[in-house]
Each structure stands twice: as structure tokens, then as C-alpha cells.
Amino acid sequence: MLELQNVTHTYPNGVRALDDVTLSIPKGMFGLLGPNGAGKSTLMRTVATLQTPSSGSIRFGEIDILENPEELRKQLGYLPQDFGVYPRVSAYDMLDHMAVLKGISSASDRKATVETLLNQVNLWGVRKKAIAGFSGGMRQRFGIAQALIGNPNLIIVDEPTAGLDPEERNRFLNLLAEIGENVVVILSTHIVEDVADLCPRMAVLIDGKISLQGAPKELIDKARGTVWAKTIERSELDEMREKYEVISTRLFAGQTIIHVLSDGAPGPGFQAVEGGLEDVYFSALASSRRAPADIAA
């Protein structure tokens, strides 16, 4: 279990990237969902011991991460958003080098580790190929391979499917699902579908604060009856935004469909939406935008 209590981080320029974050993350896949700039990468770097929060506490099992970062690193696998490697080095040689850095000194142990991981992420056939020639999805799978060196109990992946085509995204998510059966895996992303597909528990981080958390199904059930949809002309959109709390718009077959947040039927032509995780997410965003206005009023 990963426990974060009242974690706050303020950068020297005064930006408060994390604001009193409290989370309990059990074994399995956990989705951290939020827009770009919400503080997700700051939180992931903090948990990964790459920076120290301004205040708060973080524990992983019996390990106080802030007091004993080296102990956490022995159990940590990390795939950051910007994962850099030596592009002209082969996948095999690069993974072997990283295994040395992770403390696997025995050549035979490294050989077994590297071969197992390259097979696990389906890169064995290109093990001698320079990483510079890898597709985006192949690089991400290599990133997971390096994160798995040493059989970590905590794995952090930050925006792992951004920029991947649908086939590579599915392949990568299937790999994460297999890994997440036995360890704590934190999936940090702004892509709602990734969390919906993989994570039995999740939280939404907006402006450095936890907006909501729980099981996706429970959050969807709770939102049912509060989201309404209507098909409109594109020219009506500004008027609708003035009149209703529009949380999302989309095009379908050339028509504009708006989703509106309301405790009851907002007006003629609206139909209740059964709801999904996307509506939960957009509702949370709308609530966060509304809060400063409420305070000002």
C-alpha cells in the first residue's frame, strides 16, 4: 500500500503544484487522471524520490519514502513522461547497462533478466536494433522493460500512451494489465479511456488538488442523473454555454452534441445520459472551474 498524507509542493517561483494531496493506493492498477498542468508529473516525481515535497508524508509499506529514499528506489520501477535513452545503442545492450545500474552485477543474472524482459515486452526479435529505429510504441515497451528490472513492487508510468497509434496503445495497455496483477502500478495520464480500460481505482487531480477518487464504476453511478445531452446547431453553442453548464461538446455525423451538468432536466430536448468516466472527468473539471467564481462571489 502506498500512502500519501497531506502532500504539498510549492516551487521556488511560488507555483503550488501539489496542494494537500492525500491518497491510499493499493496493489493493482491505479489511475491518476488530470489535465496537462494539473500536477501529475510533480506528484509522480515526488513519489519516485526525484524531488522532496514542501510538506506531508509518503509511505510505501514500512518504508518512509522521505526519510529513506534509497530503500524505496530498490523497489521502484519508473517510466517518466520524457524517457531518454542512447539512441544508437541496441535494445539488448541498453537494457544490460541499465541492469548494471540497478545493481545486477552477475553477467549470468543480467543475461537471464534482459532476455526475460525483452520477451515479456515482445521486443526479443528486435533486440539488436538501435533504439533510434524503434516506433513510439516500441520505445514505450522498452521503457516498461527497464522499469521492471529488479522485480519492483511499485511501478510508476507517466503519460505512457500519449502519441501512440491505436494498435500500439492496446498492446501497451495489455502489457500494463499483466504487470498490475501483482504489484502497485500508478498510471498517470490525461487520457480517460486508459483509466477506464485498466484501473479498478482512480483519482482525479486538478490544479494540484484531488478532486475526487474511488472506483470508476462507483463514480459513474454517482454521476448518473446529473449529465444531460442535446443535439444542437453549431450556431447555438455560444447561447447554450451562457444558459447552461456545458461540460463537453462533440461532433457526431456532422451534428453538435452538448453534455450539460444539471441536477434535473435542464430544458426541452435534453435527454439523460447514462454516463461514463469521461462525463465524470468533465464534471470534475467543471466543478473546479466553478469553485474560484463561487469564492469570489
User: Residue 178 is placed in which grid cell?
Assistant: 499483466
CA distance 118 to 151: 14
Considering the domain architecture, whether residues 89 and 225 belong to the same structural domain is answered as: no
pLDDT above 90 for 215: yes
Identify whether residues 67 and 93 lie together within a single domain. yes
Number of folded domains in the chain? 2
Does one domain contain both 66 and 202? yes
User: What was the pLDDT predicted at 291?
Assistant: 57
> What does the pLDDT look like over 43-92, one tens digit per residue?
999 999 999 999 999 999 999 999 999 999 989 999 887 766 667 899 99
pLDDT tens per residue, range 224-259: 889 999 999 888 999 999 999 999 998 888 889 999
> Which CATH number covers residue 74?
3.40.50.300
Q: Which of 79-83, 116-120, 164-168 has the highest mean pLDDT?
A: 116-120
Residues 203 and 235 in one domain: no
Q: 182 vs 9, which has greater pLDDT?
A: 9
Pairing assessment for the beta strands 184-189 and 28-33 based on DSSP bridges: parallel
Which one of 164, 197, 215 terminates a domain?
215
Mean pLDDT of the chain: 89
Q: Is the pLDDT of residue 297 over 60?
A: no
Q: How confident is the model at residue 296 (pLDDT cuts 50, 70, 90)?
A: very low
The verdict on 8 and 83 lying in the same domain is yes
Q: What is the pLDDT of residue 293?
A: 46
Average pLDDT of the segment spanning 255-264: 91
- In terms of domains, do 75 and 126 share one? yes
51 and 76 within one domain: yes
Both 227 and 252 in one domain: the answer is: yes
pTM of the model: 0.86
**Domain of 246, in residue numbers:** 221-296
Tell me: do 84 and 137 sit in the same domain: yes
Q: What b/e string do you get for 60-74 counting C-beta neighbours within 10 Å, with b at 16 or more?
A: beebebbeebebbbe
Q: Tell me what pLDDT residue 48 has.
A: 94
In this structure, are 11 and 146 located in the same domain?
yes
Helix H or strand E segment including 50: none
Q: Which of 170, 194, 215 is the last residue of a domain?
A: 215
Looking at residue 85, its pLDDT comes to: 65
Pair 157, 235 in one domain: no
Domain boundary among 215, 240, 267: 215
